[in-house]
């Protein structure tokens, strides 16, 4: 066994924490350690401390990265479950609304009074307009907003088939920007469109003409939307919008207030309603 005759010991420090010792020995005889040797050993100890610290940081970062990946996987799984649940909710709401609409249709088969029958049809179409929104949300990728342009065309076609004797009798013109609306905005907008288009189909053209037309326009200007619904029919007195006994027009006023929007009527050439509103914040 070798007998140590001289030693030089330098601490390996991380801050104020002692991690270990770096030792140099000489067994052949006593030794007077030179300043250069002491400095070299101190430098080696410092580099070892840095290397150890970097190694610990590396493993710490690796552990944090692995934990984040696990958290991301869990978050994606949780988000996927919530999206599936939300899709199922929209699907069930749509189905339930369609069942109500079907019940109203079946019940209307036993109604002989024309006014009462008209009320049944109006209620059925209001429910259809809401069911269509849930159907569009169920089919959309994001589940939060619907393509309102597509919804508008589908809803208008349904109303045209429902009220017009022949879809070819009335020309339907739709002009719209690419607009996506959340459910809190889309539902009152859909109901407004339902009421105004229904009113035009029922009352604007008592005597059919070759150029009968209903037009709908939705434009986005800055952060506000301009929804215009009009026809070239017999027109509507401007006092009607303020003093009306029409349940449909009362609903239009209520839904416009719900959107915190403004409603204008122009009856100089047929009837034209313009609703200006902003997208509602989702609750």
Q: Which helix (H) or strand (E) holds 36?
A: helix 35-108
* pLDDT value, residue 110: 72
Q: How do 271-277 and 262-266 pair as beta strands?
A: antiparallel
Please check whether residue 24 is in contact with residue 7, taking contact to mean a CB–CB distance below 8 angstroms.
yes
* pLDDT value, residue 237: 57
Q: How far is CA 167 from CA 71, 112, 213, 244, in A?
A: 55, 25, 11, 29
d(CA 184, CA 254): 14
Q: In this structure, is residue 127 part of a structural domain?
A: no
What is the tens place of the pLDDT at every residue in 150-200?
888 888 888 888 776 555 578 889 999 999 988 889 888 988 998 898 888
The residue out of 53, 68, 83 marking a domain boundary is: 68
Q: Name, in order, each residue with C-beta under 8 angstroms of 2's C-beta and a sequence gap of 6 or more.
A: 27
What is the tens place of the pLDDT at every residue in 32-53?
888 888 888 888 888 888 888 8
d(CA 283, CA 265): 31
Tokens of 274: 């313009």
Q: In this structure, is residue 150 part of a structural domain?
A: no
d(CA 79, CA 71): 12
pTM given for the model: 0.64
CATH code, domain with 236: 3.30.565.10
d(CA 145, CA 134): 10
Strands (E), 73-117: none
Q: In this structure, is residue 219 part of a structural domain?
A: yes
CATH code, domain with 41: 3.30.450.40
* pLDDT value, residue 4: 76
* pLDDT value, residue 207: 81
Q: In this structure, is residue 30 part of a structural domain?
A: yes
Domain span at 267: 164-283
Q: In this structure, is residue 56 part of a structural domain?
A: yes
The residue out of 51, 68, 85 marking a domain boundary is: 68
The residue out of 39, 68, 97 marking a domain boundary is: 68
Q: In this structure, is residue 217 part of a structural domain?
A: yes
d(CA 122, CA 281): 29
Average per-residue pLDDT in the chain?
81
Q: What are phi and psi of 82, to 5 degrees?
A: -70, -40
Give the 3-state secondary structure of 160-211.
HHHHCCCCCCCEEEEEECCCEEEHHHHHHHHHHHHHHHHHHHHHHCCCCCCC
What is the tens place of the pLDDT at every residue in 116-159?
777 777 888 888 888 888 787 777 766 678 888 888 888 888 88
Please check whether residue 94 is in contact with residue 138, taking contact to mean a CB–CB distance below 8 angstroms.
yes
Total count of domains within the chain: 2
């Amino acid at each position: 066994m070798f007998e140590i005759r001289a030693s030089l010991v330098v601490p390996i420090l991380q801050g104020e924490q002692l991690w270990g010792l770096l030792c140099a020995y000489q067994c052949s005889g006593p030794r007077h350690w030179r300043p250069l040797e002491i400095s070299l050993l101190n430098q080696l100890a410092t580099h070892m401390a840095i290397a150890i610290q970097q190694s610990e940081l590396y493993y710490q970062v690796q552990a944090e990265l692995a934990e984040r990946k696990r958290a991301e996987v869990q978050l994606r799984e949780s988000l996927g479950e919530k999206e599936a649940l939300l899709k199922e909710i929209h699907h069930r709401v749509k189905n339930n609304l369609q069942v109500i609409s079907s019940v109203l249709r079946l019940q209307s088969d036993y109604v002989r009074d024309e006014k009462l029958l008209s009320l049944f049809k109006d209620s059925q179409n209001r429910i259809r307009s809401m069911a269509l929104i849930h159907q569009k949300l169920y089919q959309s990728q994001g589940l939060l907003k619907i393509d309102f342009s597509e919804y508008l065309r589908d809803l208008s076609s349904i109303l045209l088939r429902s009220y017009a004797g022949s879809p070819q009798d009335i020309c339907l013109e739709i002009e719209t920007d690419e607009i996506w609306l959340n459910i809190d905005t889309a539902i009152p907008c859909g109901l407004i469109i339902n009421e105004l288009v229904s009113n035009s189909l029922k009352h604007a053209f008592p005597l059919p003409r070759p150029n009968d037309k209903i037009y709908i326009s939705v434009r986005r200007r800055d952060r506000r939307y301009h929804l215009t619904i009009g026809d070239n029919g017999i027109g509507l007195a401007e006092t009607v919008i303020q003093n009306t006994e029409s349940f449909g027009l009362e609903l239009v006023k209520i839904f416009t207030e719900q959107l915190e929007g403004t409603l204008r009527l122009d009856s100089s050439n047929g009837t034209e309603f313009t609703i200006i509103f902003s997208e509602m914040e989702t609750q």
